[in-house]
Amino acid sequence: MERKRVIAVGSYPDWDSEAMSRDYALATIARLADLASLDPALRNEAVAVAYKSGASFGAAEMDLLPNLGLISNFGVGYDAINIEAARDRGIRVTNTPDVLNDDVADTALAMMLAHCRCIPAGDRFVREGRWPGGDFPLNRKFSGGRAGIMGLGRIGRSIADRLVAFGMEIHYHARSAKDVPAGWTFHATPEGLAAEVDWLVVALVGGAATQDYISAEVIACMPQDAVLVNISRGSTVDEAALLDALEAGRIGAALDVFRNEPDIDPRFLTLPNVILQPHQGSGTVETRRAMGELQRANIAAYLRGEPLLTPVT
């Protein structure tokens, strides 16, 4: 059977690029910005893009691909893709939901525990030979605290379910109340949630609609020594307001995502009350393999004219 032209954008491990090269006439570019310099004949042939990038994929890029019918995104968050521009051009978009819930939720829990029990500082304390000089300072109890989930979607729910095992009181905010276990508390506003919890865990979608959702006002509502945990997108938090609150020692933070990744604001680097992670929420071999398989399964369904597995609606 004739292999269809697919353009892979981004850096893929061998297991993905070998599978794509086997199944499609594959062209690979490291960055979306390289699309314009790709051979026009090849761009004309392209019917699908396997997309793995945070770079903005807008109308201008789509217009370089006149026969494009599908953008298959590697990742659940598709905020980099202009969905309206795709819809206007009859281009379908898919993402990779659910297969990464466990890993992202595990990462949130790991950051929370690391922050609360000062795990990075404890590790340095032992390695640097300071233990014989005296005991490590006492830290804070994790189990039994009050956790607030900002955005109780797939990942937010996975985080909340884990926190139940730690005896946490669960509070949440979303645009509407959800079907949740008895005892979980819905807050109609982000400020209302922020004011009632020790841990404010952000699991919102990214994009224009949630830009600065965790505003200066929301941050101001957080109690002294509460901790902001962000595994969503850097865009959801007013980072300047967050940095001010962190530098004032009012709150702590555990962050997997930032504005301007990977060149994050250097003010973060010297703060003792922050856990910093390199956007690695879904970054396990098992989950990245599953995400690649789902990305290709959507492309396969599209090429066969079958219903897409996980369309963005």
**Catalytic one among 115, 157, 171, 233?**
233
Stretch that binds ligand NAP, among 2-10, 97-105, 112-120, 127-135 (CB under 6 A): 97-105
Work out whether 155 is an interface residue with ligand NAP (CB under 6 A). yes
String of b and e for 118-140 (b: at least 16 CB within 10 Å)?
A: beeeeeebeeeeeeeeeeeeeee
Work out whether 257 is an interface residue with ligand NAP (CB under 6 A). yes
Work out whether 76 is an interface residue with ligand NAP (CB under 6 A). yes
Helix (H) or strand (E) holding 293: helix 285-304
157 flagged as catalytic: no
Q: Say how many CA atoms lie within 13 Å of 248 toward its Cβ.
A: 12
Work out whether 9 is an interface residue with ligand NAP (CB under 6 A). no
Work out whether 52 is an interface residue with ligand NAP (CB under 6 A). no
Q: What are the E-state strand segments in 119-168?
A: 146-150
Of the candidates 10, 145, 206, 292, which one interacts with ligand NAP according to CB under 6 A? 206
Q: What angle do CA 22, 26, 30 make, to 5 degrees?
A: 125
Rounded-to-integer distance, Cα 245 and Cα 264, Å: 17
Helix (H) or strand (E) holding 169: strand 169-173
Stretch that binds ligand NAP, among 13-21, 96-104, 116-124, 258-266 (CB under 6 A): 96-104
Work out whether 97 is an interface residue with ligand NAP (CB under 6 A). yes
Rounded-to-integer distance, Cα 54 and Cα 184, Å: 34
Work out whether 209 is an interface residue with ligand NAP (CB under 6 A). yes
When CB distances to ligand NAP are compared, the closest residue is: 153
Rounded-to-integer distance, Cα 161 and Cα 145, Å: 14
Stretch that binds ligand NAP, among 122-130, 163-171, 173-181, 302-310 (CB under 6 A): 173-181
Work out whether 231 is an interface residue with ligand NAP (CB under 6 A). yes
**Catalytic one among 171, 173, 279, 288?**
279
Query: What are 201's two structure tokens?
Result: 């865990």
Of the candidates 99, 105, 152, 237, which one interacts with ligand NAP according to CB under 6 A? 152
**Catalytic one among 18, 247, 261, 286?**
261
279 flagged as catalytic: yes
Report DSSP letters for 78-131, one per residue. Answer: -TTB-HHHHHHTT-EEE---STTHHHHHHHHHHHHHHHHTTHHHHHHHHHTT-G
Size of the site for ligand NAP (CB under 6 A): 28
Alpha-carbon Rg of the chain, whole angstroms? 22
Of the candidates 178, 239, 230, 185, which has an alpha carbon nearest to the alpha carbon of residue 204?
230
Work out whether 10 is an interface residue with ligand NAP (CB under 6 A). no
> What is the smallest separation between the CB atom of 133 and ligand NAP, expressed in angstroms?
38
233 flagged as catalytic: yes
Residues taking part in catalysis: 233, 261, 279
Interface residues toward ligand NAP, by CB under 6 A: 76-77, 97, 100, 104, 151-156, 174-176, 203-206, 209-210, 231-233, 256-257, 279, 281-282
